[in-house]
Chain A
Amino acid sequence: MSFNWPILSVLIWLPIFGGLAVIAIGEHRPSLAKLLALAIAGLTFILSITLFTAHDATTAAMQFVELRPWIETFDIFYNLGVDGFSIPLILLTTFFGVLVVIAGWEVIQVKVNQYMAAFLVMEGLMVGVFSALDAMLFYVFFEAMLIPMFLVIGMWGGPRRVYATIKFFLYTFLGSVFMLIGLIYLYIQSGSWSILEWHQLPLSLEVQKWLFLGFLAAFSVKVPMWPVHTWLPDAHVEAPTGGSVILAAIMLKIGGYGFIRFSLPVTPDAAAALDWLIITLSLIAVVYIGFVALVQQDMKKLIAYSSISHMGFVTLGMFIAFAVFQNTDNGRGAALGVEGAMIQMISHGFISGALFLCVGVLYDRLHSRMIADYGGVANTMPWFAALAVLFFMANAGLPGTSGFVGEFMVILAAFQANFWYAFLAALTLILGAAYSLWLVKRVIFGEVANTNVAQLKDINAREALVLGTLAVAVLLVGLWPEPLVNLMHASVEQLLQHIQQPKFSVPGI
């Protein structure tokens, strides 16, 4: 589709250069820095809506494509484009770009310009990850994104921030260098960095398996999947609220997006052969991490573990397709799985972002994240309590909220594959409800626990705006998911058709 201005480049570079401009303001004029950051984030979000209104939902082809040579010696192109998978994630990114600026408005007191700039730069890089069609470009954005997050956690984080942020960086870095070797191998084989060309590249099953494991190393850490999830609770607990929000709402989705963009289409046969591995790890994440969440004392940690558990649904939904193909002839079940995974990603973005913001609201007032320090918050903060309960219900998968739609679709798909998969996955409805509602009971309901809680002030207009917007989003996706499904439908169909074709049947390979 032709478009008369390079919208994707603008969405990438406007926040990055905007971030640099915010830094240039200097430390001594924080309010100017905040206003400029808000203006840039807001403008980026408004521009990104064009993607939604102007895209063509009937085709799975890449849209808004930009193609320019970058490093010609190695056939690397500055190649951007979006399809039904990336548009919703880009919108999610730009949406949260605005929210984190507002969320950090009063809370951040030191180095305000650097804080705002870090988030803006990160936003641009994340849009870059979702729109890169050149694998080298993708890798550059994928890695570069670590730097602002590393600084955000380390500079504005909690007491163990240094440990948490270095762990975060090294974990992700180690995972992605294996992917880099895989990417270079694919380049040597194909003579191109184009991800779409790699989708058509014939590869033997043996090679595919190695490549698949390389991709898995990078993306499983990002998602994160059990057992490489241990960086996430640390990073979440220590990060400032804005950092946690971006981490949970967007960065984790990059792992899921990577599976859809690389693992499934580039190495479909290996994905089919190793789907048991992903399904097992996903189910462990769903069930075991669900139990782990139950025993947490720290609210942020609980939400972090709940994130891991919910992201288990994403990977389950993506890889259940192969098991469905074995059982049934129609692809509808498989499509349910992948679409459910995508909706789960969007929904989890909204919900986990909202939950971290809720904890942030409490933390800003009492400077504690411990469940034991709270109790009866509803008595002093009724508005806050109403919104928080909504988000926790959504986290538990209450029908009518976005949390229900994705999980329900994935469970339905799992039924078509294997009853026990579905049974284990459905346990999340019980476990999720247990840890979410128990937290609500202990923190929000009951008698006022102590004098600190008694002195709490309800949310102000700024916080109400942020949480209210998210509440609308959660309900909207929950009640009317159709636009979202339509947006990605063509891409899902094409992906499913593609992964059913073996790639190694070409003679001579």
Chain B
Amino acid sequence: MNSANMLLAAPEFWVLTMACVILIVDLFLSKERRGIIHMLAMLTLVFAAIMTLRSDYASDGARSALAFSGSFIRDQMGDVLKLFSFLILGIVYIYAKFFLRQFRMFRADFYTLSLFALLGVMLLISANSLVMVYLGLELISLSSYALVAFDRDSRIGSEAAMKYFVLGSMASGMLLYGMSMIYGATGTMDLYQVSLAVKSIGSHDPLLVFGLVFLVAGLAFKLGVVPFHMWIPDVYQGAPVATTLFISSVPKMAAFAMAFRLLQTGLGDMQTDWSQMLSILAVLSIILGNLAAIAQTNIKRMLAYSTISHMGFVLMGLLPGTAAGFGAGMFYVIVYSLMSAAGFGMVVLLSARGVEADKLDDFKGLNQRNSWYAAVMAMVMFSMAGVPVFVGFFAKWMVIKAALDAGLMWLAIVAVIFSVVGSFYYLRVVKLMYFDEPVTESNIDVPVDFRAAISLNGILMIGLGIFSSSLIAVCMASFGA
């Protein structure tokens, strides 16, 4: 290992340093000047993005570069996902700042914890060995557990954190168990070496298949797909919205990257095995997520179930094992994170001092209170429902096309039928906002950066839809499709 290699991980080092710096700076700040923490965190993201953009590892024509004895990889997929992580986390910070101030929870811990989680996200995205995968994953998980319990006095917050912790540890255990079997069968931690070993052993080795099953179970838990989804609604509902905002968006991109690295880079030769498992998970998630969401009256829970169905769609992109499929899955997960951030951002927007606006009825008559915010939420909802010309539609059809390419007609048909079923509950939100009378006339008063962020986030729904060409091209090119 030399210093040039180390530089590949410069953004990670930067984020780590800044997380520690913020931790220390906070000790010397009075309560009134905590705004500095927010600025520092935003600065961290901006420079991390610049560093990611400026590194020229691919200058000699290579599509990827390794560091840390091959356990860390930089490639286009990783860079794009990281850049979107920075962007979305920036948006999340803007929403969260307002929320935390309103709820008197504006403490630096939120920023340090989420920056550590971001570090985990970055490591996971760039992981090229089993150890690095686990390292990144645990960094995300442990920070997230703490974030869920961020509101110390909230009973359901603590309960959600407990539940998340217990189930999450079990999933990590399963994942680790699967990894140990794969290590046992192949004798290596490096994912590239694993793939070579699988080629020589053959994909029917029972130890490998066992390992794969546990791996997929652990992955499914982290993605939150049926039947490993139980924690999602409770955690999303129990956590403060600021935390829900975070855990529902950025880590999903890391989970996608993890699935790609483990399944395709490492166990690509077992594609027939894992694609069957994933197709069952995908179908169940799409069906159950959409059906259960209809019955919800709490918007955080509703969005939680909608997340489950969206993750089903992401799996649909993964499971054909084709470059076009991975590109579609990557596009989907980026788009989903943006939509999710905007959806929960709207919940923050409507939350008055000390009361979370987490009931669907809180959206009643929003068009009469403020028609622009209603329009933003409507765009998010139509996008999630997959109505053109919003970006969610393009994500859905790319995934469906990937499934049809692989000859999975039945999967495509289930997916479209249940996206129609799903559109019902998204429409209900639009109905509440546009067709019903408001229950409160109180003014919606948010700071200007919030207004800018939510407007940008809403415009992205339609802007990325109409001008989806370049993002699609980037996602596809990441996998050479």
A114 to chain B: closest residue by CB: B371
Q: How far is the CA of A169 from the CA of B404 in the complex (A)?
A: 26
| CB of B328 to closest CB in A, whole Å | 10
Known: A71-B468, A144-B387. A150 touches B427 (CB 8 A): yes
Q: Which of A70, A162, A187 contacts B401 (CB 8 A)?
A: A187
Q: Which residues of B contact A161 (CB under 8 A)?
A: 435
A73 contacts B405, C-beta separation under 8 Å: no
Distance A144 CA – B476 CA, assembled complex (angstroms): 26
Q: Is A74 an interface residue (CB 8 A)?
A: yes
Binding site of A, secondary structure by majority: helix, strand, loop or mixed? helix
Prevailing SS type, chain B contact patch: helix
Out of B371, B388, B430, name the residue touching A144 (CB < 8 Å). B388
Instruction: Say yes or no: A180-B397 contact (C-beta < 8 A), given A73-B476, A114-B371, A162-B431.
Output: yes
* Chain B residues in 8 Å Cβ range of A170: 420, 423-424, 427
Alpha-carbon distance between A144 and B386 when the two chains are bound, in angstroms: 10
Does A325 touch B at the CB level, under 8 Å?
Answer: no
Q: Which one of B371, B423, B435 has the greatest number of beta carbons of chain A within 10 Å?
A: B435
Query: Which A residues touch B404, using CB under 8 A?
Result: 181, 184-185, 188
B-side contacts of A177, CB under 8 Å: 416-417, 419-420
Q: Is B400 an interface residue (CB 8 A)?
A: yes
Bound Cα distance A180, B475 (Å)? 22
Question: How many whole Å from A132's CB to the nearest CB in chain B?
Answer: 12
B181 CB → nearest A CB, Å: 38
Nearest residue (CB) in B for A177 is: B416
Q: Give the Cβ gap from A88 to chain B, nearest Cβ, in Å.
A: 26
Taking CB atoms, residues of chain A closer than 8 Å to B427 are 150, 166, 169-170
Contact of A74 among B387, B388, B434, B472 (CB under 8 A): B472
Q: Map CB proximity to A onto B367-391 as digits: 1 under 8 Å, 0 otherwise.
A: 1000100000000001000011100
Q: Given contacts A73-B472, A178-B416, A184-B397, are A143 and B435 in contact (CB under 8 A)?
A: no
How far is A169 from B385 in the complex, measured between Cα atoms in Å? 12
Residues of A within 8 A of B388 (CB): 139-140, 143-144
Q: Is B473's beta carbon under 8 Å from chain A?
A: yes
Given A73-B472, A73-B473, A162-B435, does the pair A174, B420 have CB atoms closer than 8 Å?
Answer: yes
* Given known contacts A143-B388, A147-B387, A166-B424, A71 and B401 CB-to-CB distance under 8 angstroms: no
CB distance from A141 to the nearest CB of B (A): 8
Whether B371 contacts A188 by the Cβ 8 Å rule is no
Query: Are A144 and B423 CB-contacts (below 8 A) given A114-B371, A181-B412?
Result: no
Contacting pair A146 B416 (CB below 8 A): no
Q: Which residue of B lies closest to A76 (CB)?
A: B469
Closest to B431 in A: A162
**Chain A contacts for B387, CB-based, 8 A:** 143-144, 146-147, 173
Chain A residues within an 8 Å CB radius of B7: none
User: Nearest chain B CB to A70's CB is how many angstroms away?
Assistant: 6
**Alpha-carbon gap, A385 to B420, bound state (A):** 44
- The answer, yes or no, to whether A151 is at the interface (CB within 8 Å) is yes
With both chains docked as a complex, state the minimum distance between the C-beta of B404 and any C-beta of chain A, in angstroms: 5
A9 to B23, CA, bound (A): 55
A73 to B476, CA, bound (A): 8
Query: Which B residues are in CB contact (< 8 Å) with A147?
Result: 382, 387
- Select which of B367, B393, B413, B473 is within 8 A of A181 by beta carbon: B413
User: Considering only CB atoms, which chain B residue lies closest to A156 in the complex?
Assistant: B435
Q: Are B413 and A72 in contact (CB under 8 A)?
A: no
Interface string of B391-432 (1 = CB under 8 A from A): 001100110110011000100110011011001100110110
Complex: A159 Cα to B412 Cα, angstroms? 37
Q: Which of A122-170 contact B (CB under 8 A)?
A: 139-140, 143-144, 146-147, 150-151, 154-155, 161-162, 165-166, 169-170
* Chain A nearest Cβ from B365, distance in angstroms: 11
Most B-side CB within 10 Å, residue of A73, A143, A151: A73
Asked if A71 and B435 sit within 8 Å, CB to CB, the answer is no
Which residue of the partner chain B has the closest CB to A178? B416
Name the B residues within 8 Å of A165 (CB-CB): 431, 435
**Min CB distance, B293 to chain A, in Å?**
15
Q: Which residue of A lies closest to B327 (CB)?
A: A73
Residues of A within 8 Å of B367, CB to CB, are: 111, 114, 155
Residues of A within 8 A of B389 (CB): 140, 144
CA A187 – CA B409 in complex, angstroms? 14
In the bound complex, residues from chain B placing their C-beta under 8 Å from that of A169 are: 423, 427
Bound form: Cα–Cα A181–B413 in Å: 8
Q: Choose one: A140, A151, A184; the contact of B434 (CB below 8 Å).
A: A151
Q: Which of B335-370 contact A (CB under 8 A)?
A: 367
A150–B417 alpha-carbon span in the complex (Å):
20
Chain B nearest CB, measured from A147 CB (Å): 6
Q: How far is B431's CA from A147's CA once the two chains are assembled, in angstroms?
A: 12
B393 surroundings in chain A (CB, below 8 A): 140, 143
B476→A180 contact, CB < 8 A? no
Could you say which residues of chain A place their CB within 8 Å of the CB of B424?
166, 170
Residues of B within 8 A of A139 (CB): 388
Using a CB-CB cutoff of 8 Å, which residues 1-38 of chain A contact chain B?
Answer: 23, 27
> In whole angstroms, what is the CA distance A150 to B426 when docked?
13
Which A residues are within 8 Å of any B CB, using their own CB? 23, 27, 69-74, 111, 114, 139-140, 143-144, 146-147, 150-151, 154-155, 161-162, 165-166, 169-170, 173-174, 177-178, 180-181, 184-185, 187-188
19 A-B residue pairings within 8 Å (CB atoms)? A74-B401, A74-B472, A139-B388, A143-B388, A144-B387, A146-B387, A150-B427, A151-B430, A151-B434, A161-B435, A166-B424, A169-B423, A169-B427, A170-B423, A173-B420, A173-B423, A180-B416, A181-B400, A184-B400
Besides A114-B367, A188-B404, 5 more A-B contacts (Cβ < 8 Å) are: A73-B472, A74-B401, A161-B435, A169-B423, A177-B419
Ranked nearest first, the 7 interchain pairs of A and B with the lowest CB-CB distance are: A177-B416, A140-B388, A154-B435, A71-B469, A174-B420, A143-B388, A184-B401
